[in-house]
Structure 1
Amino acid sequence: MPNRRWSVVIPVAAVLYMLAFLDRSNVAVILPFIDDPGMRLSAADQGLISGIFFLGYLILQVPAAILAHRWSAKNVVLILMIGWGLAATATGLVQSREQFLVARFALGLFQGGIWPAVLVLLVQWFPQRERARANSLWMTCLPLASILMSPLSGILLEHYEWRLVLIIEGLLPLAWAAVWWRLIADSPAGSPWVSPTEAAFISSALHEEEIAKPDTGTLTYAAALRDRRVLRLVAAYFCWISGFYGFTMWLPTVIKNLTGGSAGTVGLVSAIPYVFALAAMLALAAWSDRTGRRNAAVAVPLLLAAAAMVTGQLVDNPVLSVALLCVVAMGLYSPLGSFWAIPAGVLRIEILAFALGLINAIGNLGGFLGPYLVGWLTDRTGSDASAYVALAVVLVVGALLVLGLRAEDRRPTG
């Protein structure tokens, strides 16, 4: 059976989102080194600049997912990619705190529809028994972006002014848009490089899966809003993302405090936890597809991340602290493929795109809460320990919500 989709669709989509993650998270590396007299930023200001991205991120989630399903995921992503590239470039031109906030909000607005639109695309390319691995291989863009791009931002900062670094990194998605347009199609049937055998296999597998799903009558968007499975997934993802971005956005600052190093050193050390996260993502996805235990593959790592986050506040050894940061990164990143395989496994195609957009839209409000909570509690208490304990509690709640999804925790067919 030819499997070219693994070597074309996944890498192109991974690079796409790697660039997206770079343009949203590079401020975490850059903010500690902004010394512009007109940009005096408190810890709360820095948290707000990091987090306001997610207020814009909310707006186009559901519309982009529905449009990707009804029209074209390929075209939706292309349009949004161009918009985010222009917004990311604009962050290097800001002259005040307020302008920085507006530019970051616009960046979130255009990036908001990318994630659900790509998930809709992947549903058409990979059957359920392959989906956790496909999702995880695509989502390796997240730790890879931190492994490759955090050092890149730090190295560039040692040679160029912070504004130029943001402009350079904002131009990259505009170049990648041409690659996306040339290689990606909405389904195997519309792609010239997919063999008839592979296209027929995928079409048949997807058709059989859709027939096998229970007909619960939940075939309208209004009904989906009342579906307890959807609402539980939304709440769980909100908790998870609060801890996820509370950790990732402040990690470089934590590393800087631990090492007292230069921008280059901070960037390099910040990449270490993501190397472990990458390996954990791939291993856990393979286990999840083999056993079908999606819930456990999500909840257990989140509980481990919470435990390591709390333990890290009790140690005063830089090496041990970095080791615990690695455990947190593994726990936060490794469940991604399994989590996003759950909705497609239980929801019918008529409402799946809407549900994916809704889960990601409301869930990613946690991306505002997490960074801002860390900055606010740090300013109020003079220490970041209370902030990370609060994030750990939120992660535990998210894990418990996922464990309650008993209907989804079953061995896949096929």
Structure 2
Amino acid sequence: MTQARPIPQPSSPATPAKRWAYVIPVAAIMYMLAYLDRNNVSVILPYMHGDLELSNADKGLVGGVFFVGYVFLQIPAAILAQRWSARKTVVILMVAWGLAASLSGLVQTKSQFYAARFVLGFFEGGVWPAVLILLASWFPLRERARANALWMACLPLSSVLMAPLSGWMLDHASWRWVLVLQGVPPLVWAVVWWFAVADRPAQARWISRAEADHVERSIAADEAAKPPAGSGSYLDAVRQKSVLVLIGVYFFWITGFYGFNLWLPSVIKELTHNGSSTEVGLLTAIPFTVALGVMIANAAWSDRTGKRRQAVAVPLVVGIVALLLGQAVDGALPRMLLLCVTAAAVYAPYGPFWAIPGQLLRFEVVAVAMGLINALGNLGGFAGPYLVGWLTDATGSSVTGFAVLSGFLAVAVALVTLGLRTGTRPVRRLSDQAAEGA
């Protein structure tokens, strides 16, 4: 006789949810500080005034070489987070990237700047998959897109807060000091992270037994509903078609994402007819503010409906249209509105996309799968900025570069729509699971 699995009970008003107030904010602030240096360099590049004799292609390479270093620790950090401790893995990387960030302000040559950006990317690279593993231990699948999006809201929020701050700092200090100072906050926040974060509910002092039990039962039910993981080896992750498709989706999406992101302040500077760095920084924050709201709303819709693929594909289609229209229209206001739409569109898929691996793969292999997706996909972070810079130098206009980025986003849409057609299943509510089990 087959033994029945324990059926998790649906969440009720009596079930506490402190994890939303403790885990998400600490993780979001931590990664907002990681994203600070990427935001800073995009604001700084238009105002370096030939200090290191950087062409547009060189500036694109400065943004892109970060992601070459970013690849190396993705899978090792994911495995460490799963088998050892996400909390300890992240705190080590925080200290290392904080020091590397400050050192990038001390470079004297173009080659040294490239090297500094590579090292910074190397240490930051392991943080993303480690935190995804952490969240998978705290939030069941029916909450995963919202948890991912609220954490990843640090990406546009970082730009909202830091772009004006970076612009103001540039008006009062050199770009070198801006880069040196960016390494200090991660060192401070590493202390907060160490005392505030636990790897799983059972280890946290602040969580109630009821909430811990509820989370553990829910996650156990999610795992039981997934297909078997084969031999359970990490090779099982790379053998699955869905993982290969997700790598492709992420690469082409991120190529467009970072190609747009890095050059956004330069486009806004052009719209303001070479306005001050403070003015450019404030205006740059507007598209990211719009993106923040759309990103969270899209994730909530994805969790409510279980339509992960549509929550990724539809915003990217909107982004393609806005990106192309932005190169065709005249006038500062229409172009600014289209920049806001594009920013919202390229940020919106984050929460739903990163909920897909955990929906398809068992916990034994999802760590290496997410590390692999992030490692290879983020090579688009090298391709996008460099392509726009190189094409701008070659053609004398950014139009061609942004048109190419639209093409990359279109490939991502095709892959997520067709390649995952039979791979994803709707996420059921726990109450539905309980009713079926009864």
Normalising to structure 2: TM-score of the pair?
Answer: 0.93
Q: Which residue of structure 2 lines up, in the alignment, with residue 332 of structure 1?
A: 346
Q: Distance in 1 between matches of 2:89 and 2:313?
A: 32
Cα deviation per residue 1:186-235 (whole Å; 9 max; x = unaligned)?
00101101110010000101111111111252632223222100000000
8 Å CA contact 2:149, 2:351 repeated in 1: yes
Of the three residues 96, 118, 139, the one matched with 2:152 is 139
The answer to whether residue 286 in structure 2 is matched with residue 286 in structure 1 is no
Cα deviation per residue 1:316-372 (whole Å; 9 max; x = unaligned)?
111000100011111100110000000001101110000000000000000000000
Q: Distance in 2 between matches of 1:149 and 1:82?
A: 20
Change (3 A) 1:27 1:353: same
Of the three residues 192, 199, 217, the one matched with 2:205 is 192
8 Å CA contact 1:80, 1:111 repeated in 2: yes
Q: Distance in 1 between matches of 2:423 and 2:208?
A: 33
Which residue identity is paired with 1:59?
F
Of the three residues 236, 240, 255, the one matched with 1:227 is 240
8 Å CA contact 1:58, 1:365 repeated in 2: yes
Q: Which residue of structure 1 lines up, in the alignment, with residue 283 of structure 2?
A: 269
Q: Distance in 2 between matches of 1:36 and 1:107?
A: 22
Q: Tell me the CA shift for residue 25 of structure 1.
A: 2.5
- Give the gaps of 5 or more residues in structure 2: 1-14, 431-438
Cα deviation per residue 1:120-160 (whole Å; 9 max; x = unaligned)?
00000000000010000001000100100111100111111
Q: Which residue of structure 1 lines up, in the alignment, with residue 396 of structure 2?
A: 382
Q: Which residue of structure 1 lines up, in the alignment, with residue 427 of structure 2?
A: 412
8 Å CA contact 1:345, 1:408 repeated in 2: no
Greater per-residue helix proportion: 1
Q: Which residue of structure 2 lines up, in the alignment, with residue 107 of structure 1?
A: 120
Q: Which residue of structure 2 lines up, in the alignment, with residue 127 of structure 1?
A: 140
Which residue identity is paired with 1:330?
A
Q: Which residue of structure 2 lines up, in the alignment, with residue 118 of structure 1?
A: 131
- Report SS of the residue matched to 2:422: helix
Q: Distance in 2 between matches of 1:178 and 1:130?
A: 28
Which residue identity is paired with 1:94?
V
- Report SS of the residue matched to 2:71: helix
Which residue identity is paired with 1:55?
V
8 Å CA contact 2:70, 2:122 repeated in 1: yes
8 Å CA contact 1:295, 1:408 repeated in 2: no
Q: Which residue of structure 1 lines up, in the alignment, with residue 3 of structure 2?
A: none
Cα deviation per residue 1:358-407 (whole Å; 9 max; x = unaligned)?
00000000000000000011111111100000000100100111112123
8 Å CA contact 1:342, 1:408 repeated in 2: no
8 Å CA contact 1:302, 1:332 repeated in 2: yes
The answer to whether residue 381 in structure 2 is matched with residue 367 in structure 1 is yes
The answer to whether residue 71 in structure 2 is matched with residue 58 in structure 1 is yes
- Report SS of the residue matched to 1:2: coil
8 Å CA contact 2:229, 2:236 repeated in 1: no
- Report SS of the residue matched to 1:59: coil
Larger-Rg structure: 2
The answer to whether residue 24 in structure 2 is matched with residue 6 in structure 1 is no
Q: Which residue of structure 2 lines up, in the alignment, with residue 19 of structure 1?
A: 33
Q: Distance in 1 between matches of 2:318 and 2:160?
A: 22
Q: Which residue of structure 2 lines up, in the alignment, with residue 157 of structure 1?
A: 170
Which residue identity is paired with 1:411?
P
8 Å CA contact 2:229, 2:364 repeated in 1: no
The answer to whether residue 316 in structure 2 is matched with residue 302 in structure 1 is yes
Q: Distance in 2 between matches of 1:218 and 1:108?
A: 33
8 Å CA contact 2:100, 2:116 repeated in 1: yes
The answer to whether residue 253 in structure 2 is matched with residue 253 in structure 1 is no
- Say what the alpha-carbon RMSD is for the aligned residues: 1.0
8 Å CA contact 2:237, 2:366 repeated in 1: no
8 Å CA contact 2:56, 2:389 repeated in 1: yes
Q: Which residue of structure 2 lines up, in the alignment, with residue 79 of structure 1?
A: 92
- Report SS of the residue matched to 1:173: helix
8 Å CA contact 2:133, 2:367 repeated in 1: yes
Q: Distance in 2 between matches of 1:216 and 1:64?
A: 21
- Give the gaps of 5 or more residues in structure 1: none
- Structure 1 window deviating more from structure 2 (217-226 vs 260-269): it is 217-226
Q: Distance in 1 between matches of 2:240 and 2:330?
A: 46
Q: Which residue of structure 1 lines up, in the alignment, with residue 330 of structure 2?
A: 316
- Report SS of the residue matched to 1:265: helix
Which residue identity is paired with 1:95?
Q
Cα deviation per residue 1:162-208 (whole Å; 9 max; x = unaligned)?
11111111111001000000100100101101110010000101111
Identity %: 56
8 Å CA contact 1:89, 1:171 repeated in 2: yes
8 Å CA contact 1:218, 1:224 repeated in 2: no
Q: Which residue of structure 1 lines up, in the alignment, with residue 8 of structure 2?
A: none
- Structure 1 window deviating more from structure 2 (213-222 vs 68-77): it is 213-222
Which residue identity is paired with 1:29?
V
**Structure 1 runs of 4+ with >4 Å offset:** none
